[in-house]
A and B are shown apart, each in its own frame.
Chain A
Amino acid sequence: MDRAVNIVASDAITALGRGLAPIADTIRQNTSGLRPCPRFAGKNYQTNVLGAVPDEVWNEIGPTDTPAFALANTVIGQVRPALKSNRIGLVLSTTKGELAALENANCSAFAQRILLPGHLAVELARANNLTGPVRCVSVACVSGLVALQLGADLIRRGEVEEVIVAGVDLLSHFVLAGFTTLKSMEPTGCRPFDKNRVGLSLGEAACAVALRLECAGLPALSPLHAQDQKSASKLAHSKTRLLAAASSNDANHLTGPSRDGSGLALAIQRALEQARVAPAQIDFVQAHGTGTPYNDRMEALALRTVFGDHVPPFNSCKGMFGHTLGAAGILETIVCLVSAQIGLLPGTPGLTERDPEIPDSVLLSPRPAAPRIMLKINSGFGGTNAAVVLRTP
């Protein structure tokens, strides 16, 4: 039996708000959710223009000293009803998890306990009655795609039939101070693939997808078409198949990408090979597109290595909600799913004048299309690269 894995539901909390409806609106309007964030104003960071979760969402969540747990728990709770088996797995993707508790001298014993991301994953599984295998993945900015790969592998190996893959990373003094020391942020908001790009914009998000084994004998899916109309948080992705995922290392530099893009190209080629998909079959690529000069140039080289002169339409959605680090791979995969569902390839908010080194198939604005096979790629610190191949019904 072919143990195919489908993404059957998803949810996200981002700078755009709660749920997938704001993401769909942002794709349609090609707008940015990056704004000056009062939480981080006047504190000597390189910028406070960020993809911060809006105050109204935090107000809905309520006061908490475990905000990462609260946000991740919310999105996991939203996708949980799509899965029916008695034993559901959880793969959590994060770089810093609940680390902001380190900066809070008065935090609770629970916050102290889930400082370690492995414990955060266990507590999220417990809170949502997920009794299958629990894993916590942390591979820099490719964490989300590696977590998707691991979630699908747990299903393909027969360890479990259903898995929730969730990602969470929040803005904090730690993260902002860190990227300020590296001088890698764009003061006014990132401009991926732009001739005048300077750096990245940080964001925060929690997101989750429900993965399910596709085979005979399982109960039929009840589509999740915005069951929760109040938050419009869910859209159905019935039978969007996660065809393959792969990773690689540049073996080159800890904080800079390989200059020739060969590591990312390797990850893409591995994923295409596993998916048994030829480069010419890819309808859309959602790039990492951080907006740093080196990353975007490296990605362009990697895309040319794989696709030659026929690079498919591609975009970056970092201008929509910022770089959400450990959540990025899952969140941006969700954007692929939403794009396919609304019949629009997303544009690249922040991009106004394409860098001549970047292939001209980069999407400045949304384009009507019905992509069938999509590629999602990310790269990160430590020379990490990952790629996921998706196929819509």
Chain B
Amino acid sequence: MKAFLNPQTCNGNSWPAEFAEALQRGEIPDTLWNALFPVPCPRFGRMDALSRLSLMVVELLGAQFTEDTGVILQTHTGCLATDKRFLETLSPSVFTYTLPSTAIGEICIRHKLRGPILCLLAASPDEDLAIPEAQAWLREAKVTRCLCITADVTTTTASALYLHRA
């Protein structure tokens, strides 16, 4: 099961017209979630861009997850944009999002996931670290299902893969 999004498309479909311009600018509007998904996400408005991207791409999978699902997030630029914003605002609500693994926390809260977790900071946007790691977790019976996410704020791109043990 796969999903992806970028500034042009959302799982291969065009974005709703009213959001296309903002997404081209790298912005993820507060109201985007409700335009895309039937089940509301009250926390979406307070999230940083990395959490929004990650949560949206997981929702696009349309999957029912089991509680023991593992979660692996790979990101190149992580929460650097949020770090800069915190230095400008010194706001506690922004500080909460100055860890890239906060995006995993948001996914786990929404989908009630309590499996193992890993957040990898890749040296290049093209590195392929998360999927081989998830496949190893499945092979080693660390998990029976694993959610694998790649997200980067600077390019407004994200992809998600839900892997099951054969």
Given contacts A99-B83, A182-B95, A249-B104, contact A136 B123 (CB under 8 A): yes
Please determine whether A116 and B118 come into contact, CB atoms closer than 8 angstroms.
no
Instruction: List the count of A-B residue pairs having beta carbons below 8 Å apart.
Output: 131
With A254-B105, A382-B105 known as contacts, the answer to whether A248 contacts B87 (CB < 8 A) is: no
Question: How far, in angstroms, from A136 to B123 measured CA to CA in the complex?
Answer: 8
Nearest-Cβ distance from residue B21 to partner chain A, whole angstroms = 28
> Which residue of chain B lies nearest to A94 when distances are taken between CB atoms in the complex?
B121
In the complex, which residues of chain B have a beta carbon less than 8 angstroms from the beta carbon of A119? 123
**B74-94 at interface with A (beta carbon < 8 Å):** 76-78, 80, 83-84, 86-87, 90-92
Rounded to whole angstroms, the CA-CA distance of A119 and B91 in the bound complex is: 28
Assembly CA distance A182 to B84 (angstroms): 18
A244 CB, nearest partner CB in chain B, Å: 11
A173 to chain B, nearest CB (A): 8
Scoring A residues 102 to 141 as 1 if CB is less than 8 Å from chain B, else 0, what string do you get? 1100000000000111110110000000000011111110
The answer, yes or no, to whether B99 is at the interface (CB within 8 Å) is yes
Which among A95, A134, A135, A251 has the greatest number of chain B C-beta atoms within 10 A?
A251
A247 proximal to B (CB < 8 A):
yes
- Contact A251-B109, Cβ < 8 Å, known A174-B86, A382-B102: yes
Report if A157 contacts B (CB, 8 A).
Answer: yes
Closest to A262 in B: B114
Instruction: Determine whether the beta carbon of B121 is less than 8 Å from that of A137.
Output: yes
- Report Cα–Cα, A121/B86, bound state, in Å: 24
**Proximity bits, B141-158, A CB within 8 Å = 1, else 0:** 000000000000000000
Q: Is A270 an interface residue (CB 8 A)?
A: yes
Chain B stretch 103-139: residues in CB contact (< 8 A) with chain A: 104-106, 108-109, 111-124, 129, 133, 136
How many Å lie between the Cα of A136 and that of B80 in the bound state? 15
Of the candidates A121, A177, A383, the one whose C-beta lies within 8 Å of that of B90 is: A177
Shortest distance in angstroms between A304's beta carbon and chain B's nearest beta carbon? 19
Q: Which of A117, A251, A252, A254 contacts B121 (CB 8 A)?
A: A117
Query: Is A250 among interface residues, defined by CB-CB distance under 8 A?
Result: yes
- Chain B residues with Cβ below 8 Å from A135 are 120, 129
Contact B101 A384 (CB under 8 A): yes
Q: Are B105 and A381 in contact (CB under 8 A)?
A: yes
CB distance from B46 to the nearest CB of A (A): 10
A138-B78 in contact (CB<8A): yes
- Minimum distance in angstroms from A268 CB to a CB of chain B: 13
Determine the residue in chain A with the shortest Cβ distance to B118. Answer: A146
Q: Which of B80, B117, B129 contacts A249 (CB 8 A)?
A: B117
Docked pose: A157 CA to B138 CA in angstroms: 13
Q: Tell me the nearest residue of chain A to B116, going by C-beta.
A: A247
Q: How far is the CB of A289 from chain B (nearest CB, A)?
A: 20
From residue B132, how far is it (CB to closest CB) to chain A in Å? 10
Q: With both chains docked as a complex, state the minimum distance between the C-beta of A301 and any C-beta of chain B, in angstroms.
A: 16
Chain B residues positioned under 8 Å from A382 (CB to CB): 99, 101-102, 104-105, 108
Contact of A248 among B116, B120, B123, B140 (CB under 8 A): B116
19 contacting pairs across A/B (C-beta < 8 A): A102-B87, A116-B123, A136-B123, A137-B118, A138-B78, A139-B101, A150-B118, A157-B136, A157-B140, A182-B92, A247-B116, A251-B111, A254-B105, A382-B99, A382-B101, A382-B102, A382-B105, A384-B101, A384-B104
